[in-house]
Amino acid sequence: MSRCAHRDHQRCGRWRRHCILSKKNFNLDTPYGRLYHRLEASGLKQHIKAFIWNQGESNAGDSVLEYKTALTQLYHDLNSEYTFEKFYLVQTPPGCSASSGHQTVREAQRQFAEQHSQVNIITRHGFPTNPLFDGNYFLSDGCHYHALGYEVLADWISHMALYDFYNGSVDFQAPQVISVKRETSKSLSIEFDKPIAIQPDLKIDGIVYTVKDQLFAVNSKKITSISELKVDSKNPKKLRITFKGKRLKKGAVLTYILGDTYPETSIPYRGPWLVDARTGIGAVGFTSTIK
């Protein structure tokens, strides 16, 4: 399997095909040029199982359209040069304290995966607590991980490949939103494509953080007025949210995962999350209109 790897600080646009000057004159100073040269030299250009795209923080601040356009161009470039079966997309998580957050990049990635059947999406949300470093899987830069984070991500990706190519029994794609619907003026439901679970509260530096108080926003404004958040007892793919003192309107926009840090801190957000009830992989972050 060939992996389309890159450093977290590189922008999506740096991987464009135009980095190659000609088929016999590779620009090895560019990521795409080096990739093309290696696959051409190895004879693997037409025998690739999957590319893995793991976007870091550099595109924070891009609009949904800007990032999706850049990612679509890259995807088309790869399709024009190589034969591959899958494109594994790792959704950008909170981290790096970007001033504008990464929610627009996450939504662009979600839409891109939804629109391309060859694309499977996974997240970096839901990592288990690190047995070292007071449970933290981030390095001190708040961007990159201790070994545990990368080991868990690699394990999840390998299981996704096992399911896709080698008759694995468990689908390791991340849960994706299907719909967000207003039920009453003070409640709504979110339906996912897989059964969902709510991670337990997480205590960091003496403060207890919960999913209901940290991860949702309406019209880009974080909300802490959720009185109840629960998985539907009859449909484990559906999440029900009840608000206190807030009137919901159809047409408002709900965001799951807004911003990069815990409130009034510089600590990168690392949980709790909504996760796949079976695998523990975090649900895909989204921005969706309430119907």
Q: What is the pLDDT of residue 262?
A: 87
| CA separation for the pair 117, 216 (Å, rounded) | 28
Q: What is the pLDDT of residue 142?
A: 78
- With bands split at pLDDT 50, 70 and 90, how would you rate the model's confidence at 254? very high
- With bands split at pLDDT 50, 70 and 90, how would you rate the model's confidence at 253? very high
Q: What is the pLDDT of residue 5?
A: 41
- With bands split at pLDDT 50, 70 and 90, how would you rate the model's confidence at 258? confident
Specify which of 36-40, 66-70, 77-81, 187-191 reaches the highest per-range mean pLDDT: 187-191
Instruction: Assess whether pLDDT exceeds 50 at residue 283.
Output: yes
The class of domain 177-289 in CATH terms is mainly beta
Q: Phi and psi of 190, rounded to 5°?
A: -120, 125
Q: What is the pLDDT of residue 144?
A: 83
Higher-pLDDT residue of 277 and 221 is 277
- With bands split at pLDDT 50, 70 and 90, how would you rate the model's confidence at 8? very low
Condensed to tens digits (0 to 9), the pLDDT of residues 102-125 reads 889 999 999 999 999 999 999 999
Q: What is the pLDDT of residue 260?
A: 83
Condensed to tens digits (0 to 9), the pLDDT of residues 52-103 reads 999 877 777 788 999 999 999 989 989 988 999 999 999 998 877 666 668 8
For residues 189 and 288, the answer to whether their CB atoms sit within 8 Å is no
For the chain, give every residue range classified as CATH 2.60.40.1220: 177-289
Q: What is the pLDDT of residue 13?
A: 55
Region label for 117, one of left (φ > 0), alpha (ψ between -120 and 50) or beta (otherwise): alpha
- String of DSSP letters for 208-245: EE-HHHHSEEETTEE---EEEEEE-SS-TTEEEEEESS
Q: What is the pLDDT of residue 131?
A: 73
Helix residue ranges, H only, the chain: 31-42, 64-81, 103-115, 147-165, 211-214
Instruction: Assign a CATH topology to domain 12-124+126-165.
Output: Rossmann fold (3.40.50)
Condensed to tens digits (0 to 9), the pLDDT of residues 10-27 reads 555 555 554 444 455 567
Edge-to-edge strands, sheet with 221-222: 221-222, 216-218, 253-256, 286-289
Q: Which residues contact 61 (CB under 8 A, 6 or more apart)?
A: 98, 99, 100, 104
pTM: 0.88
Instruction: Assess whether pLDDT exceeds 60 at residue 51.
Output: yes
Coil, strand or helix: which one is 87?
Answer: strand
Higher-pLDDT residue of 59 and 248 is 248
For the chain, give every residue range classified as CATH 3.40.50.1110: 12-124+126-165
